[in-house]
Amino acid sequence: MNQLRTKSTRATAATLLLAALSMAVPSPVYAAQPLGTLVSEGGFDWMAGTWITTTGQGETIEVTYKWAVEKHVIAVHYKSSSGFDYHGLIFYRATEDKIVHVGADNLGGVWEGTWDSDGRRAIMEFANTRANGDIRRGSAASSRFDAETMKVEMYLVQDIEPGDEPMATMTYKRKKPAQKANK
């Protein structure tokens, strides 16, 4: 009797899962606009790739923006020579008409934010909840200097409004793809 009930429960669960998935898969008519289209229309597709900088203290930072899921998602990987490691996702939430950024780091921190533009800079507003519960808010404004150079200005939010002057400005260079060795 228990075996029959278990099989029946599994069949019911499988049927419900298939029904939920079929409702979740949008028809082509109602599919959300890909993030790639929004990024391209905004003129920020140049950000895709890997960028490297070295701070005044000699720390190397590498950040990669990589397209995924048919340009509906950007996977972000940020790592530093000091051992900090972050992975995140950027995607378009059509129901709120927002470009959202979520991620986590190797220190137990959680990052949440949104992206927008002021016409020349891609601006990420973020909240970082550290492992101890402390929350830091800020923004990062990325702009193109030339095809191989990106400038990122970091602002910490004090009393809700970001300051006029960035707390840090970093200049990143595009990392060249590794050359394949000739054999």
Instruction: Map residue 42 onto helix, strand or coil.
Output: helix
Q: How far apart are CA 87 and CA 77, in angstroms?
A: 5
Categorize the per-residue pLDDT at 29 as very low, low, confident or very high, splitting at 50, 70 and 90: very low
Convert the pLDDT of each residue in 138-183 to its tens digit. 999 999 999 899 999 998 876 545 557 888 899 999 998 776 666 5
Single-letter amino acid, residue 120: R
Locate the domains of the chain by residue range.
35-174
Output the CA torsion 167→176→49→143 (10° steps).
40
**Sequence-ordered strand ranges (E) for the chain:** 49-54, 60-68, 73-80, 85-93, 98-105, 110-117, 121-129, 135-146, 149-158, 161-162, 168-174
Q: Computed from CA positions of residues 156, 124, 129, 94, in that sequence, does the dihedral angle turn out positive or negative?
A: positive
Question: With contact defined as beta carbons under 8 Å apart, do 66 and 48 qualify?
Answer: yes
CATH topology of domain 35-174: Lipocalin (2.40.128)
Mean residue pLDDT across the chain: 84
Q: How far apart are CA 163 and CA 114, in angstroms?
A: 18
Convert the pLDDT of each residue in 72-92 to its tens digit. 999 999 999 999 999 999 999
Tokens coding 123 = 């601006």
Residue 21 has pLDDT above 80, yes or no: no
Residue 123 has pLDDT above 80, yes or no: yes
User: The whole model's pTM is what?
Assistant: 0.77
